[in-house]
Structure formats: C-alpha cells, structure tokens
Structure 1
C-alpha cells in the first residue's frame, strides 16, 4: 500500500491577509491628515505638497483637494521622482526614471510636505531628501504617510501618520488606491506573500 508523501497530503500554506483600512477608512485618514496639515502649518501658508511616486502622488493630490474643500486654500502639488537617488539601484532591477514636476513657484523658501503611502526603513525618504537638495532650498521639510509600519533603518519619522501598524519584518503592507489600482484599501500580508 502506497502512502501519500507529506508534500501531497498537506496543501501549501497561504499567507494570512488582514484588511487594515477599508475604502471609507482611507478617506477618513486622508481627511484627518489634511486637517493636521492645516493646523500645524497655520492654514497651509507657504506650503507645497510633493508626492513620491507611485502612490504618494495621488495621496498628495487628495490632500490638496481636501485642504481646498475645508478651507478654500489652493496648495501647490508636485511630483518628486527619487529613482536616481535610491541606494539600492545596483542591487535591484533597472527602474524607469519618472518625471519630477515642481509647482510653478518652485520650493525655495517653502514648507515642503513629502507625501508617501508607507513609511518602513526610511530609505525612500532619505532619497527624497537628497533629491530635494538638488532642486532647491525649502524653508523646512515635513513628511506625511498613510501608513507607518515601523522597522526604521534611518533616524526618520513622519510628522503626519494616517495609521501606525505594528508589523513583523516578514510581513508586508500593501496599499491600493483608486487612481493607481482601482480601489482604496490597505492590507497586511503574513510571511510568504510576494508583493
């Protein structure tokens, strides 16, 4: 009589998935961050929002839209591509360089709020700071993120955080947005998930 091998008898283990933020949650979080920016910047005076692609760009535009809806203030929005400033260029596959689009007034003397979806090691933000240094001299730089998952490798913290999610290093956080992915959601995947 033949006995099934262990590989045949037990199916591969699927990584766990937990929805952290629903679409409605994402909208509430963006509203809250917009209010915090207004409060901390005295009504967004001399403030520019720069989105870090991919998902930081639509988040920056949403924040500007919400600030306009709340206060009738038009906050300039731009895009800051950090591809050439990343410290992992030699180790990872070639990336296409995207456009950096600064608001027409530039960033000199302005308060720049960098906007990204997930804060993890801090290396993306470090690259963004290096890129900013080549583009102008802002009066100050702040950071707004939808999710802070911890595990910093550099001394960087966000000024505005939508949701702190304690994670294990083996876990991954996936943000989807309507503009880039067709729906708003934040999910936490267990070990074994390939992003």
Structure 2
C-alpha cells in the first residue's frame, strides 16, 4: 500500500459516528421492533455488532444481528479471483427476515455494487418489509443509484484515492484513512 495521506476518523470519531447512526435508526424506525441489523463481510459485521450494542444501551432492548457473505453475488467476481475459486464463508442470519426492517451495514459506500450484491443476497433469503443502508463512510463515485440512509461521515474523494477502514476486531486499531492508490 502507498503512503497514508490523511487520517479522517480516529477511534473516538468512529464511536461518535456509530452512536449517532444508532440514534437515527431508532428514530426512523420508531424503535427497533421487527428490525434486524445485517453486516456485510468483513468489517460490516463488526460495525453491525457495535451498532447493536449501542442500540441496546439506548433502547434497553436487543436487536438481532446477522452476517452476510456476498461473494457469489458480486458482478466483478471474475476480475477479483484470477482463476481461483472464491472463498465463500456463508451467511448467518439468526432470524427470519421476511416482513422485517433490515438495516444493511457496511464500512464504505463507493460505487454501490457491494450494496447491490448485498440486497440480491438478502432477497434470496426472504422478503424484508424494507431494506435500509447504514455505512461508516460514504466516499461518493456511485455507479448505481444507491444512497445510504445512515452515514457516519461523508468523505469526498478522488478516484485515485483509497479509503481504508481499520477496526480493532480485525486490524487491532480503529481508524479511517485516505491513501493515494
């Protein structure tokens, strides 16, 4: 990887952003009854779990959390795998999603293709009453008409920059940085 250009979110800023998103989810849905958080592998899962903890602290009632593996739904699968079999880890959603409000959680919203793949995967599992999108970072450059309902931070970037989200559960540190590609 190239040199870090800027640190845009530190541990405290990430915590504040997730707390704000948790409040917005509760407010928009008038509580969390009939709602489920579904994190997109890998970092979206940890963000979903953190949001669930915040929501439970605020509301006093738990919200289910699921994990979604979108590997086989990606439209760039052939480009990414280079003749290797894709590593599929499977989805794990502990509740039926039909007629539930599903909040899809991911770390970065960029072209919209990952989110589209996530929605396709969800629709194969059931028919939610609605799908909402929560992201830690929206960096712009959409290729599909997808918009996040909840955004931790909008970070306008150029196409030659890369946003790197690091979370303690995976990377031993909580931070969001911009790198030059």
TM-score, normalised via structure 1 length:
0.88
Q: CA deviation at 1:25?
A: 0.5
User: Are 2:74 and 2:114, in contact at CA under 8 Å, matched by a contact in 1?
Assistant: yes
Is the aligned partner of 1:78 residue 2:58?
A: no
Is the aligned partner of 1:69 residue 2:57?
A: yes
CA distance in 1 between partners of 2:118 and 2:93 (Å): 13
Q: What is the root-mean-square deviation of aligned Cα atoms in Å? A: 1.0
SS in 1 for 2:30: coil
Larger radius of gyration: 1
Aligned to 1:97: 88
Structure 1 residues 129-144: aligned runs within 5 Å: 129-144=119-134
SS in 2 for 1:97: coil
Aligned to 1:115: 105
Is the aligned partner of 1:41 residue 2:29?
A: yes
Structure 1 residues 1-195: aligned runs within 5 Å: 15-93=3-81, 94=84, 95-103=86-94, 105-190=95-180, 192=181
CA distance in 1 between partners of 2:7 and 2:179 (Å): 9
SS in 2 for 1:158: coil
CA distance in 2 between partners of 1:100 and 1:168 (Å): 33
CA distance in 2 between partners of 1:16 and 1:143 (Å): 28
* Larger strand proportion of the pair: 2
Aligned to 1:8: none
Post-superposition CA distance 1:81-140 (Å, at most 9, x none): 10000001111124310120112x310100000000000000000101111111000000
CA distance in 2 between partners of 1:32 and 1:100 (Å): 27
Q: CA deviation at 1:16?
A: 4.9
* Residue ranges of structure 2 left out of the alignment (5+ in a row): none
Structure 1 stretches of 4+ with a deviation exceeding 3 A read none
SS in 2 for 1:90: helix
SS in 2 for 1:146: strand
TM-score, normalised via structure 2 length:
0.95
